Chain A
């Protein structure tokens, strides 16, 4: 099975570069206003509510109707980014499905996919999100994107470098062996860290050389600036976005692996 090796090595990671990467992921934008409600289908009550910024939230005075309608009304009324409604039995159901679906060959992404599929199955029944895109494009999409990205990477070394101003904003170097991810790091090589970038479109080759010297030949290299990277992460159609960006020279792919199909 493809995925992540149990013996994955994750070291020599530059914390600043790594935190930049995390901060770009939608999941880690913690300042969003999300209202989460627990409701009981049996007693037709909202049992509890919590606001992601303000904590326990006792102002839910809506008449209990259809949970989807409640989600829509609250989204409008409270001006929050998203409203999530969970039926009281959902958590237990979800966890039992995940544990029942576990096999010893699963990596964490495959395991989370069981949760993803269960939540999709329960969407509109015990699980309601308004707007739906909040879920599909953020939390839900992240698992799918991570798996697609993992599957897309060729064996060998893959390198992502994102530039901002005259420095490397974030980078990732991933080693894949026999279809499994075996190592993750950033390119914290002193020679590279000392580089002052004036034109990354030409200077990226120096980085490739340094990486080759320390880690070996790169099979797939992807270079871009931080703005393009953030657009890419938010894109619904990353493959098309990448193709267009490549045509417009907003990104550089070098080397390009054979039979490369990049899906996110």
Chain B
């Protein structure tokens, strides 16, 4: 399945279970409805298949991106997420991205360390189990800032319209984010804004925003060429208050956090591209083998060559994302979750871990600094740059493969091929977005240059001393999260900031 020597025993079984579930869910519930969902999504901008999300929840697809300590199932998060994405994308990329964008939203929390295990993430796991799914979204892009928001070297010059203003007990968020997948459905959004608009690179911060907060509003929902089931929405922040305890990591760690998430999510985009290509290839091959009118085409050498090339492209794209996911899980950021200290914390009973004493310690400056220090020590700038390069390569390769293979499949089938044509056209429309989101392929390849061609180092670690949130009473909304207490541990601003 996956050539990862560390995947064995229980870990391997867990991933095989998740994969089998994703495949069954895709084949039984998604693929037969893919065209209908696409049409409905175009006709009614408010239509969203919550029934399908609930069904996916039965297969653990919302918790697939959670660390095991927060109720997730797999230790090798990136690998398992990628495999799920390929399976779902072969059925319907739009549905895959609903779950993928949720995983992206979860990403900052998963990287945020033990403090976040028992908040929104556990709520997601619990609600999934109860059949009342909660989803997340990830908000970076702004109307005037897209690709440059995703590059540490460009972000200082980006035309950012969002900013977070310090107020008593937290921050007020203002501005507009756009093209946010799941934006209109998400309960929680991880959103990036600078605290000082004049110094975005140094002060970019990740905030966990509850979409029920006052001042939060969903704006325009886009009509997209493809991946229509996954809604892209504008999110408007009008003095949205976020308490200090919902700062993910430290103030100023936003770029590091964001890039860390992208290192984990770009292989998943590569997997989405691979899945789209596979979906097109499987459909056209099935048609050629089974439709009496189509079958004679298999006698044509051009068709055989095209099919062989499709196989080849898909194989290489899969290899690229598996390599990147393996690097993430075994070597770079994901490996932090396998740290002995983190694993021991994970073995604490939930009740104990949710106690005010332990939460206070985990939310303390020392703990938050420790997370960043561990990242610096175990991975560092060079390790992050290399991991980013591999993940960017996987993303660009998977996306290009999706475009190429869907185009080839459509070319073989032609306009008169009957019902299969609409499915192939949909996959091609879906494929184009993979070349654009999570940084355009061009930006991704520039990061491959940095990380692999010249063994460079992007400034991915925090560039200034990360300021620690001050202690504050955390207002809890759900009974499950009621254990969240104030954090009043010792805080020393300007301490860690590991370079």
Q: Decide whether A and B are members of one complex.
A: no
Residues on A facing B (Cβ under 8 Å): none
Residue numbers of B with Cβ under 8 A of A are none
